[in-house]
Structure 1
Amino acid sequence: MDRADVRPNSGPESVEARILEVARAHIRKFGAARATIVGVAHDAGMTHANVYRYFPSKATLFEEISASWLRPIETRLREAADGPAPAGDKLESMLMTVHRAYRQKLESDPALFDLLIEALEKERPVARRHRARVQSEMQRVVEEGIASGAFAMTDRRRAMALIFDAAHRFIHPIALKLDKDAAAAPLAARCETVVAMALRTLRIGRA
């Protein structure tokens, strides 16, 4: 049987999912630098030309691997922003969601977490898009808080800078990687404390 047609009755989505599944396994086993399209194709039971039909390059394949675990985080943030809770509660929930999701990925799937860090360091599209989506959802909530009077700090740029400066150590993947040996529960508690301080500043309008 021709490797390009191992699954002739499979739809595009199932073939793409198989490629991604094998690619994740290769990254976990060999690391991103040593994982290859040829190796992924071989273990997926197809030619490397068939892999290129779905992913034009190794970079685009790796981008989709990162995007696939970042999308649920973005969805949770969007749902929180759309929810009925007060703006301050939304922001607290969103910041803790990011912290816990990144930390869980760092602990359970370090190879794929490192793939995100590499994307951040090299300013790859998947990292830029994710950062923009996270910031956009939080900005919506900041603007809601300002409009409703919940936040006395009415300068949106200052408010956004305060949030991300205060929480940076706990929500930036590279900073979290530096704290990988710290116990998760105390780190989350420290994150909650810092977030509470930032929200208090937003509510009273000054530090």
Structure 2
Amino acid sequence: MDVGTTVSDRPQTGYMSSIIEAGTAACRLYGPSKTNVADIARLLGKSPASVYKIFPSKAAIWDAIAGNFFETDLTFTPSAGGELTSAASRLKETALGQHRLMLQARHGDSQMFNLVVLAADGSWPSFRDHLKRLQAYIGELISTGIATEEFVPRNVDTAASCFCASIISLWDPRIIGALPSSHCELSAHELASFAVAALSQVAPGEESMAAE
């Protein structure tokens, strides 16, 4: 499914939110593959044509529903007082917290989880934006760790990109969906710990990056 521009204009923000809410409810009832715009319109008591006045296509509606789910249900919130802990601890907490949210969605909200798998498979804007937000936050934590001398000075954008790539198996819904039911968080903890520890070291050939 090709995803075009998300919304052509935004004159009716309230109605847009209602469409996303109804679309989420329909997806949970019928599943993303069986839900259609008529189902969403019926839940709203509106016509499909009125829905298309807000969203230019079915693909745009699905992307908006997925984007809302990423932001509301799949965005990890650090624990209170996190600013008092080390950057390394907060990085590990974020990596594992995001992983737990994905696991919880897989087991407790399977239809919406199926939708975000589709978003990842199709590289929808909602999924790309989700990864960008995660990487931006990781970059902030790495920058903090460099400032407090927990981490070796280096190009923050490059380090954040490498960190996220190294633990993507903890965050990608396609990989999470393929995990056996007996999956243990111990391996996730070890992977996150390994990735965080790498930021405290200068790898061979990395001296030039550290000097930037």
Coarse TM-score class (shorter-chain normalised): 0.7 to 0.9
Residues paired across the two proteins, number = 192
- Which protein is richer in helix relative to its size? 1
Q: d(CA) in 2 for partners of 1:164 and 1:22?
A: 33
RMSD, aligned α-carbons: 2.9
Secondary structure of 1:54's match? coil
Identity %: 20
- Which residue does 2:104 correspond to in 1? 104
Whether the aligned pair in 1 keeps the contact of 2:76 and 2:94 (CA below 8 Å) is: no
Q: d(CA) in 2 for partners of 1:103 and 1:114?
A: 12
TM, length-normalised to structure 2: 0.76
State the one-letter code of the partner of 1:107.
H
Going from structure 1 to structure 2, the CA distance change for 1:189 and 1:148 (only over 3 Å counts) comes to: same
For residues 154-201 of structure 1, give each alpha carbon's deviation from its aligned partner in whole angstroms, at most 9, with x where no partner exists. Answer: 35466335423432222221111110x3335x2x22211211122222
For residues 124-151 of structure 1, give each alpha carbon's deviation from its aligned partner in whole angstroms, at most 9, with x where no partner exists. Answer: 1111111111111101111221232111
Structure 2 portions without partners, runs of 5+: 1-11, 205-212
Q: How does 1:45-84 map to 2 (within 5 A)?
A: 45-72=45-72, 73-74=74-75, 76=77, 83-84=83-84
Q: d(CA) in 1 for partners of 2:106 and 2:153?
A: 34
Secondary structure of 1:203's match? coil
State the one-letter code of the partner of 1:172.
D
Whether the aligned pair in 1 keeps the contact of 2:22 and 2:43 (CA below 8 Å) is: yes
Q: d(CA) in 2 for partners of 1:43 and 1:144?
A: 47
Structure 1 portions without partners, runs of 5+: 1-10
State the one-letter code of the partner of 1:200.
A
For residues 3-55 of structure 1, give each alpha carbon's deviation from its aligned partner in whole angstroms, at most 9, with x where no partner exists. Answer: xxxxxxxx963x54543343223323433233211222123211112222333
Secondary structure of 1:60's match? helix
- Which residue does 1:27 correspond to in 2? 27
* 1:163 aligns to 2:163 (yes or no): yes
Going from structure 1 to structure 2, the CA distance change for 1:21 and 1:155 (only over 3 Å counts) comes to: closer
Q: d(CA) in 2 for partners of 1:19 and 1:158?
A: 38
Q: d(CA) in 2 for partners of 1:165 and 1:125?
A: 18
- Which residue does 1:200 correspond to in 2? 197
Q: d(CA) in 2 for partners of 1:45 and 1:178?
A: 38
